[in-house]
Amino acid sequence: MQFPVSMQSRLCGLSALAAALSACSAAPERETTTVTTRELDIGGIVKMRRETRTTETADDTEVEPSRPQSGILTAGDYDDILNPDLYAKYASRLAQQMGDDLPFIDTRTRVAVKIVDEAGRAVPQAQIVVTRKGGTLRLVSGADGVASFYPRHDRVSGLTRISATSDAGSASRNITVSGQDMQAVTLTVAGQAHAVRALDLVLVLDTTGSMGDEMAYLQAELDKIVERLKRDAGNVDLRIGLIVYRDAGDDYIVRSYPLSGDIRSVRETLDLQDADGGGDTPEAVDRAMMAAAQMQWRGDAAKAVLLVADAPPHSEAVGATLEATERLRSEGVQIVPVAASGVEDSAQYVMRTMAVLTQGRYTFLTDDSGVGNAHAEPDVSCYVVTRLDQLIARVLAGIVQGRRIEADRNEIIRTVGDYDSGRCRARQIASR
């Protein structure tokens, strides 16, 4: 990606810091003590005063730059599944504006298939098969027992058969796809459902040059996210994997680290990553999502991809990106994009499409923190702003528990539009 002025300043600041450290380590011993105070500013993000002393006793210890603190970045989220009319208008409008570069994903009609046990409890991780011309559609129910398909997008019409297989038993039935905006179908199995006790989470990070601010803060946020997640979702059996990506011509295109329950090791691996490269706007999103689809996901775990990015895939790779999304969808993986600063229209469209197809949630950084470059205002009608670590933990805990978890009132920084538990009220839909 092209480096904005703020990125160039940050690189210059980092060079100054490296030079200061080098000069300190190479300085000869002195008979007297000299104190030098320097003001360092790394891209307007990390500010500190560094004091260097040279004495008769050599000191080889280097002073590390201050790390960003957790709990600073702010973000909002938007659930297109709860606002289907708004999403359909948004997707149709943008697809027309962008021409052939973006396909129109038609989600105007939806069939929500819910698998329940004999007591009416949701059955998670049920394998669902929907018959259709040209091959079957395979889905996996979430912790709420629900999997969704979109008849126009998924090419399912007329009479079809839906089958579900799970640890709690199997069931199937024929239905006629009505073509209504929303159609609910329930299948009941004879056994007993079990709550979700595990989560497989893969972090997919754009590590090109413009992502330096977001990477540094995500590295600082991870512990708080895990802590909050386990508080809200119980002592969930958590595994985390990591995928970092750039683009062709950079030091690497994709690096993939497998899912692991050793969270400390994952954090150390994340800390080793830096932001560099790029040169043009699109990045290798398709390659990164293909790598995510190849992860060794557990069959009995809730599954999520946290995609942190600010750029779209190359126009010729949008199809491959959506193909990888469909593979993740067939595994029951929910994609939660986090749109970073400077995200542009096509990137937002692809991210929201990935979220809506996989029953995920579109999230985006906001300017409320005052950190980093300006963040693009999302093309949505209503949302609340909270701290990023709180938001991500709530969304992930909701994936484990199969319910939407709203922010506590004291966590809300501001509210945009007429927000009602993730829905934008009807009068906003009518006026848009």
Q: pLDDT by residue (tens digit) across 68-93?
A: 566 788 999 999 999 988 988 898 88
pLDDT of residue 326: 97
pLDDT of residue 9: 37
Pick the range with the lowest mean pLDDT from 10-24, 52-66, 158-172, 295-309: 10-24
And the tokens for 349? Answer: 């469209």
Q: How far is CA 292 from CA 245, 254, 403, in A?
A: 11, 10, 24
The burial of 32, by beta-carbon neighbours within 10 Å (0-12 exposed, 13-18 middle, 19 or more buried), is given as exposed
Partnered with residue 41 across adjacent β-strands are 47
Query: What single-letter amino acid sits at 298?
Result: R
Contact 338, 75 (CB under 8 A): yes
Q: Which residues of 106-145 are buried (b: 16+ CB within 10 A; e: fewer)?
A: ebbbbbbbbbbbeeeebbbbbbbebebeeeebebbbbbbb
Contact 142, 359 (CB under 8 A): yes
pLDDT tier at 42 (50, 70, 90 boundaries)?
very low
Average pLDDT over residues 152-172: 96
The burial of 167, by beta-carbon neighbours within 10 Å (0-12 exposed, 13-18 middle, 19 or more buried), is given as middle
Q: Quick count: other Cβ atoms within 10 Å of Cβ 406? A: 15
**Reduced to 3 states, what is the DSSP secondary structure of residue 305?**
strand
| All domains of the chain in start order, with CATH | 5-54 (no CATH), 74-105+196-431 (3.40.50.410), 110-188 (2.60.40.1120)
pTM of the model: 0.82
pLDDT of residue 266: 93
Q: Would you say the C-alpha torsion 243, 246, 247, 251 has a positive or negative sign?
A: negative
Pick the range with the lowest mean pLDDT from 5-9, 327-331, 358-362: 5-9
pLDDT of residue 6: 39
pLDDT tier at 373 (50, 70, 90 boundaries)?
low
Contact 395, 363 (CB under 8 A): yes
pLDDT of residue 30: 38
More confident residue, 30 or 268: 268
**Reduced to 3 states, what is the DSSP secondary structure of residue 374?**
coil
pLDDT tier at 56 (50, 70, 90 boundaries)?
very low
**For residue 34, pLDDT beyond 60:** no
**Reduced to 3 states, what is the DSSP secondary structure of residue 4?**
coil
**For residue 113, pLDDT beyond 90:** yes
Rounded Cα distance between 214 and 341, Å, is 8
pLDDT of residue 70: 62
